[in-house]
Amino acid sequence: MSAELQDGPETDPRGASAAEQPRDETGNFIKMSATTESTDSTSTESQNNDDNNQSRQVATRVLGNEVNAVEDTLKMGEDQRAPVNAILPSGGMAGRVLIMGTLTEAELNTSAKGNDYYEAQVFAPDETVYVYAGQYQQDAFEALENLSAPAFVAIVGKISTYETDEGETRANIRPELITQVDADTRDNWVVEAANATFDRVEAYQNGEEDAPITPVYGSDHSAEPFAQAAIDALEGL
Amino acid sequence: MSQNDISETVEELAEEFEAVGIEIDTEDAEERLEELTEFRVPLDEAKTTVRSSLMGAHDVSSSDLYQPDDNELVAVEDIAGLISEADGEDIWIDVEVTILDEWEPKHPSIGQVGLAGDSSGTIKYTSFKTSELPDVQEGVSYSFSNVVASAFEKEDGDTIYEIKPNSNSSITELDEEIEVPSAQERNSHSVSGTVVAIKPGSGLIERCSEEDCNRVLNSGQCAVHGEVDGEDDLRIKAVVDDGDEAHDVIFGTEETVAILGMGIEAAVKEARNAMDKSVITDMLETEFVGQHVEADAAYFDDSGLYLVNEYTLDAELDEDGISEAAMRGRDLIEA
């Protein structure tokens, strides 16, 4: 079969130079403010549409304990649709993530504004992460409607953080897609995620990491515990 | 980082703008660099910020401004990754390629357009008449220095990568020939990773019924033949992501039927019953997302897509992988 080959691709209508992405006056990065009622946030939808605006963000493999340890996210530019990256404590940043684990619970709730959303708990070694699917995560919402715990699931989504009333940071996942997978697929993911974690830790230890780890996690931060957690996860297989 | 480093950076910026005939306010630039670095912005980021605002103030675009940083000589296959690292923005590179195909320019401002490649891949090139660059010829190899590489998102969500030489670039003919794999070799790449998305244009589609056409219809319209009768077909445009790179991969009719578990007629019926084609796409998401795929695919030159020749769904547990990874982790901690 032939796909839609064109005899000469369309010209870039923008001409020779692409539009400059606007930058902030005081520096490139703008800190994203914490949102409380995150499931109703409209910013998620535009972030899910980042494919339309720039090259797609790769899905970073992150283990559950690391997701929960994320303290902050960074908005990469001023544009409302600029991508938001989570700053990973193992060193590095993640725009989009791929997590696999065991769905242990999926609870249907109603937000203060009257919108339905699912609060799902997924055990991705070695901790349970929280996943929220509301009106802006339709595909994931429907998937949760059809899944029953316990089940192995794969989640493609983004890490989002918010501050509790006591000033603590909590991280959770805003899913784009949730699907069921089998045990082997999930186990193979643990290996991938462990290796990805080691890659990040190694880069961080070698000083190759230019994500703002220190401003967020402090100057005496060590990425080692995350490597250890990855080893533990592997040993659990 | 010292005051010297800041002065040096100011000089570098002044030089860059001088090259396009603009004198910048160096005192102001120095102040702003100092301020930014005091706020913990790394110097090279601060330089980029100050450069950007100078560009805005003096109405200079990025492809006008010569950036004297040493560009890496890159392989064609690295370009997508580099652009992604730059958050989708244009980058400056050096690349050595052979011109494979020259195309008919579709816009009067275009000088030359076509396909170039090296042993790692192929990429579109476009030059503009105003840049007054030397013409390149099919079959000849050139060194392209200081060219802009960019990613352009098509309407249907696919990305086209291209190199765009401009008035700051230089194109030099090379004596050696840059080897490009034969059409057959060129058309075989391994793509592996996890399926993380099913893109629009997947599931039940319609193709143009005009002879030899086969283009996917957009709302019943063929880009070439206009409104035509469509022939039903099934396909998947998946994003296969291994954590380092995300590739757009097309799975054709046969492959999609196997993954979906039903043929075209059955899919059409299913969609009719639900009065919605998206039931098929939903089924694809359920069946395919999260699966690990190893595919042998042909690389589509003009849009960076891969069309799968063969694939396997890799679902077996990689036992060796577990122990290798654990060992690596322990070494890392002991180091």
Mean pLDDT of chain B: 84
Residue A147 domain-assigned (yes or no): yes
- The answer to whether the Cβ–Cβ distance between B285 and A177 falls below 8 Å is yes
Contact between chains at A58 and B246 (C-beta distance less than 8 A): yes
- Tell me whether residues B285 and A234 touch, CB distance under 8 A: no
Question: Chain A contacts of B123, Cβ < 8 Å?
Answer: none
Give A3's contacts in chain B (Cβ within 8 Å): 214, 216, 250, 252, 300, 305, 307
* Tens digit of each residue's pLDDT (9 = 90 or more) over A44-85: 333 333 343 345 789 999 999 999 999 999 988 888 888 899
Average confidence (pLDDT) over B298-308: 58
B242 vs A49, A196, A203, B149, B194, CA distance in Å? Answer: 21, 10, 18, 23, 6
Question: Could A27 and B128 be called an inter-chain contact, meaning their C-beta atoms sit closer than 8 Å?
Answer: no
Gap from B88 CA to chain A (nearest CA, Å): 5
A215 interface with B at CB cutoff 8 Å:
yes
Chain B: closest CA distance from residue A169 (Å): 23
pLDDT for B182: 64
Nearest to B241 among A2, A58, A77 (CB): A58
Touching check for A100 and chain B: CB below 8 Å?
yes
Partners of residue B197 in chain A, C-beta under 8 Å:
156, 176-177
The correct CATH number of B189-313 out of 2.60.120, 3.40.720, 2.40.50, 3.40.50 is 2.40.50
User: What are the pLDDT digits (tens) for B116-138?
Assistant: 888 888 888 999 888 888 999 98
Residues in chain A closer than 8 A to B110 (CB atoms): 11
Contact assessment for residue B148 and residue B212, using Cβ atoms and an 8 Å cutoff: no
CATH architecture assignment, domain B73-184: Beta Barrel (2.40)
pLDDT of residue B262: 94
Average pLDDT over residues A102-131: 93
Select the residue of B36, B153, B317 nearest A26 (Cβ to Cβ).
B36
CA–CA dist B172, A15 (Å, integer): 24
Task: Please give the pLDDT value at position B192.
Answer: 87
Q: Is the ipTM of this complex over 0.90?
A: no
Mean of pLDDT values over A100-115: 93
DSSP letter at A13? Answer: T
pLDDT at position B335, please? Answer: 67
Cβ-defined contact of B126 to A187 (cutoff 8 Å): no
A1, part of any domain: no
Q: How confident is the model at residue A43 (pLDDT cuts 50, 70, 90)?
A: very low
Whether A9 is covered by a domain: the verdict is no
- Tell me the pLDDT band of B1, cut-offs 50, 70 and 90: low
Over residues B279-292, the pLDDT tens digits come to: 999 999 999 999 99
Chain A hits for B335, Cβ within 8 Å: 205
**pTM beyond 0.80:** no
Residue percentage of chain A with pLDDT more than 90 = 55
Q: A32 versus A73: which is more confidently predicted?
A: A73
Q: Do domains B73-184 and B189-313 have the same CATH topology?
A: yes
Instruction: Give yes or no for a contact between A173 and A155, defined as CB atoms under 8 angstroms apart.
Output: yes
pLDDT digits (tens, 9 = 90+) for A211-220: 888 888 888 8
Query: Is residue A10 scored above 50 in pLDDT?
Result: no
CB proximity A56 to B under 8 Å: yes
Q: Mutation test of the interface with chain B: which of A2, A17, A47, A74, choosing the one with the most B Cβ atoms within 10 A?
A: A17
Provide the pLDDT for residue B247.
Answer: 84
**pLDDT of B48:** 83
Name the more confident of A34 and A99. A99
Mean pLDDT of chain A: 78
Chain A contact set for B318 (CB, 8 A): 188, 191
- pLDDT value for A23: 31
| Contact indicator for A39, B52 with CB cutoff of 8 Å | no
Q: Report chain B residues whose CB lies below 8 A from the CB of A14.
A: 152
Nearest CA in chain A to B63: A17
Residue A110 is part of a domain; what is its CATH number? 2.40.50.140
> Which residues from chain A sit within 8 angstroms of residue B64, using beta carbons?
17
* Domain span including residue A71: 30-208+223-235
Interface test with B, best of A2, A54, A55, A186 (most B CBs within 10 A): A55
Residue among B128, B300, B322 minimizing CB distance to A191: B322
| Residue A17: band (very low, low, confident or very high) from pLDDT cuts 50, 70, 90 | very low
Highest mean pLDDT among A51-55, A101-105, B137-141, B248-252: A101-105
A98:B307 CB<8 A:
no
A205 contacts in chain B (CB < 8 Å) = 332, 335
Contact A202 B223 (CB under 8 A): no
**Which of 174-203 (A) contact B at CB < 8 A?**
176-177, 179-185, 187-189, 191-192, 194-196, 198, 201-202
Residue A23 lies in a domain: no
pLDDT tier at A21 (50, 70, 90 boundaries)? very low
Q: Find out whether B259 and B236 touch, Cβ atoms under 8 Å.
A: yes
pLDDT (0 to 100) of residue B311: 78
At residue B139, does pLDDT exceed 60? yes
More confidently predicted of B213 and B123: B123
Mean pLDDT of A165-170: 91
CB-CB under 8 Å, B107 with A191 = no
- Give the residue, A128 or B43, on which the prediction is more confident: A128
Residues of B in contact with A59 (CB under 8 A): 194, 196, 241, 243, 246
Half-sphere exposure of A180 (CA within 13 A, CB side): 15
| Domain ranges for chain B | 3-58, 73-184, 189-313
Percent of chain B with pLDDT over 70: 90
- Positive or negative: CA dihedral A215, A217, A220, A225: negative
If one compares A46 and B102, the residue with the highest pLDDT of the two is: B102
Of A11, A27, A184, which has the smallest distance from its Cβ to B39's Cβ? Answer: A27
Tens digits of residue pLDDT in B140-178: 999 999 999 998 876 656 678 899 998 888 899 998 888
- Read off the pLDDT band of B100 (50, 70, 90): confident
Give the chain B residue nearest A7 (alpha carbons): B103
pLDDT score for B103? 78
Does A17 contact chain B (CB < 8 Å)?
Answer: yes
- Cα–Cα distance list, A73 to A32, A87, B103 (Å): 6, 6, 44
- In angstroms, the separation between the Cα of residue A24 and the nearest Cα of chain B is 8
Instruction: Please report the number of interchain residue pairs, chain A to chain B, with beta-carbon separation below 8 angstroms.
Output: 222
pLDDT at A185: 93
Which tens digits make up the pLDDT trace of B305-318? 666 667 788 778 88
Secondary structure of chain B as H, E, C letters: CCHHHHHHHHHHHHHHHHCCCCCCCHHHHHHHHHHHHHCCCCHHHHHHHHHHHHHHHHCCCCCCCCCCCCCCEECHHHHHHHHHHCCCCCEEEEEEEEEEEEECCCCCCEEEEEEEEECCEEEEEEEEHHHCCCCCCCCCEEEEEEEEEEEEECCCCCEEEEEECCCCCEEEECCCCCCCCCHHHHCCEEEEEEEEEECCCCEEEEEECCCCCCCECECCEECCCEECCEEEEEEEEEEEECCCCEEEEEECHHHHHHHHCCCHHHHHHHHHHHCCCHHHHHHHHHHHCCCEEEEEEEEECCCCEEEEEEEEECCCCCHHHHHHHHHHHHHHHHC
pLDDT at B85 exceeding the cut of 80: yes
Confidence of residue B268 (pLDDT cuts 50, 70, 90): very high
